[in-house]
Amino acid sequence: MLKQVACLKACKKLHENGALTDHLVPDIVREEALSQEPEEEPYHDERVSYFAPELVGSSGSSSSKMYHCYLIEMEKKFTYDVSVQDIILLVKHEFDLDVASSNFDLEVDRGKISVHMKYVGRIALTHEQTLLCRRFQMAVFSVLLKNNISTVMETLIRVQKDIDFAHVDYFTLPCSGSLGNSSIINWQCVRSVLFVSNNIRNSHMNCSPSGVSRLVYTNNGPVCSCMLENCLVCTPHNRCMYCVSGFLDNLNGNSNLTLRGGGVISYKNYYKRHGLDLIYEKEALLRGRHLFAVQNCLQRCHQQKQKDPSKASVELPPELCSIIMSPISVSTLYSFSLVPSIMHRVESLLLSTNLRRMITDHHMQNVYVPADKVLEAITTKKYLESFHLESPETLGDSFSKYAVSQQLFKTYQNHHGGLLSLEREKVISNAALCKLGQNVNDTIHFKLGSKFDSKKTRQTRLEKSSSSTQARIKYSLGSL
């Protein structure tokens, strides 16, 4: 009896507040109207390519240009017979501090390589130096990304022309180890791209009068032996390219070669089987190795170890080799095989700082959010990195639900819980957030959506995301 009395009093109170009709049943007319309200038309997603504005410019034809110089230091956390070398990044616009001092790891098949960036000042390049840097960068990445001698030779011929590139204006160059202004760049290595010019070969026949260096006959013709100490060569008979790190003084054309099947044959007879006669069989063989494969080194787990030809060493008769670039070391080529992954992370961080700037421009509160947190908030799980947006998205969704619930409760104190839940769902639905994102700022359309393709020269591939994702990003960043 007491329960029935209490229920009757509760019903009367709800009736007075308008939650129940005269028949003492819930007023579900508004609730049904909310639940049956049609969704907005779907947002049409379309892909766009994005390139960080800090890395874009016009080469122009001015006599001198100023560049901001960043040192990219690399340290391998494993044992390997090939070392890594530091890289110099030259850009026209200075980076934000959290990008300029960023630290991250690269995952390679043998372990981790730590990467640290730091700002080392400004440097002035003449127009000739700018063209030379661009030619070197194009040639190296053509070698590593294409690994096709025909394409590489076309690139080397093309870069000899004074071509104006009006889009990308940054350089990744080998570091000399010295931090003194222009001497920080290893100009000797950069000039290796000019070896295809006959003037370079003919003007350097013997670098040492003491006899340490000597004349060696190659497929290019006679060259000084110092040009074969660190170089990139091609063997025209099989159209393969190799990194060469010097001579094998204990091996020549008459030395024995152990075959895979277990037999033994001299190098001279081995090549004779393939229709190649060695004329200088007493010349020491070259120590070569296959090119390094460019891979995605940003994934959260080690890539599966596969039979990689870049690990195999080969012995090469000099007379069968055509020099493509000299001098350029094996360590330099190995380090540059990591540059696409490094630049992809740099571009992603630059994207994050630009997105952060767009968002903070619309807020009165001066809240600083690190670039790596912004990057985490816009990186989907498909990207296969060690971080993704699920954690900040969950936090942002919880924050938005709490804020909306609190506001609705204060605004509609007489509405029952079911009606308030529908009202909240209407406010934070994809359709509502999409409209909110479009009304706030039409320029925030960035989401990292798929894993990085290391074979593409444009390292950052972005998707134009729905405005509902934009609004969630804003909630997420606001709660970090």
How many whole angstroms separate alpha carbon 475 and alpha carbon 472?
Answer: 5
Least confident of 40-44, 312-316, 388-392: 40-44
Per-residue buried b or exposed e for 408-444, using 16+ beta carbons within 10 Å of the residue's own CB:
beeeeeebbeebbebbbeebbebbbbbbbbbebeeeb
pLDDT at 378 over 90: no
Residue 61's contacts (CB-CB under 8 Å, 6 or more residues apart) are 127, 164
pLDDT at 36 over 90: no
Note the helical H segments in 232-370. Answer: 267-273, 330-336, 339-360
Region 139-143 average pLDDT: 91
pLDDT at 287 over 70: yes
Q: Judge whether 179 and 277 are in contact, CB under 8 Å.
A: no
Per-residue buried b or exposed e for 162-178, using 16+ beta carbons within 10 Å of the residue's own CB:
eeeeeeebbbbbbbbee
Least confident of 221-225, 288-292, 321-325, 394-398: 394-398
Calculate the CA dihedral of residues 247, 248, 254, 255 and round it to 10 degrees: -160
Residue 424's contacts (CB-CB under 8 Å, 6 or more residues apart) are 401, 404, 405, 408
CB atoms under 10 Å from CB of 17, counted, come to 12
Least confident of 80-89, 100-109, 147-156: 147-156
Question: C-alpha 238: how far from its chain's center?
Answer: 32
How many whole angstroms separate alpha carbon 140 and alpha carbon 373?
Answer: 33
Q: What is the largest distance, in Å, between two alpha-carbon atoms of the chain?
A: 118
pLDDT at 479 over 60: no
pLDDT at 44 over 50: yes
Instruction: State residue 85's pLDDT score.
Output: 94
- C-alpha count within 13 angstroms, C-beta hemisphere, residue 96: 21
Residue 341's contacts (CB-CB under 8 Å, 6 or more residues apart) are 106, 295, 296, 297, 298, 452, 454, 459
Bridge partners (DSSP) of residue 256 are 266
Could you read off the pLDDT of 447-475 as tens digits, one per residue? 444 455 655 543 333 333 434 444 444 44
The DSSP annotation for 84-132 comes to ---EEEEESSPPPHHHHT-EEEEEETTEEEEEEEEEEEEEEEEHHHHHH
Q: Judge whether 113 and 74 are in contact, CB under 8 Å.
A: yes
Query: Hey, which of 25-39, 252-266, 309-323 has the most confident mean pLDDT?
Result: 252-266
How many whole angstroms separate alpha carbon 257 and alpha carbon 267?
Answer: 6
Query: CA-CA distances (angstroms) from residue 276 to 40, 90, 253, 271?
Result: 72, 45, 12, 5
Q: Is the overall model pTM greater than 0.85, yes or no?
A: no
Number of H helices, E strands in the chain: 15, 17
Calculate the CA dihedral of residues 295, 298, 303, 309 and round it to 10 degrees: 20
Token pair recorded at residue 209: 């009068």
Region 74-96 average pLDDT: 93
Which residue is it, tokens 């054309």? 253
Categorize the per-residue pLDDT at 160 as very low, low, confident or very high, splitting at 50, 70 and 90: low
CB atoms under 10 Å from CB of 293, counted, come to 16
Note the helical H segments in 330-453. Answer: 330-336, 339-360, 371-377, 390-411, 417-428, 430-440
| Segment (H or E) for 174 | strand 170-174
Residue type, 385: E
CA proximity to 293, closest of 243, 328, 249:
243
Q: Judge whether 345 and 298 are in contact, CB under 8 Å.
A: yes
Could you read off the pLDDT of 187-234 as tens digits, one per residue? 999 999 888 765 555 556 456 555 567 889 998 889 889 899 999 999
Residues in the chain: 480
Mean pLDDT of the chain: 78
Q: Judge whether 24 and 15 are in contact, CB under 8 Å.
A: yes
Using the 8-state DSSP alphabet, how is residue 334 labeled? H
CA proximity to 136, closest of 94, 180, 88, 92:
88
Token pair recorded at residue 454: 């290391």
Instruction: State residue 452's pLDDT score.
Output: 59
Categorize the per-residue pLDDT at 386 as very low, low, confident or very high, splitting at 50, 70 and 90: confident
Instruction: State residue 94's pLDDT score.
Output: 92
CB atoms under 10 Å from CB of 190, counted, come to 21
How many whole angstroms separate alpha carbon 92 and alpha carbon 122?
Answer: 10
311 versus 184: which is more confidently predicted? 184
Could you read off the pLDDT of 4-23 as tens digits, one per residue? 788 878 878 777 776 666 66
Instruction: State residue 255's pLDDT score.
Output: 93
How many whole angstroms separate alpha carbon 21 and alpha carbon 230?
Answer: 90
Region 57-76 average pLDDT: 82
How many whole angstroms separate alpha carbon 349 and alpha carbon 355?
Answer: 10
Residue 121 backbone dihedrals phi, psi, to 5 degrees: 115, -165
Could you read off the pLDDT of 100-140 as tens digits, one per residue? 999 999 999 889 999 999 999 999 999 889 989 988 999 99
Region 313-331 average pLDDT: 93
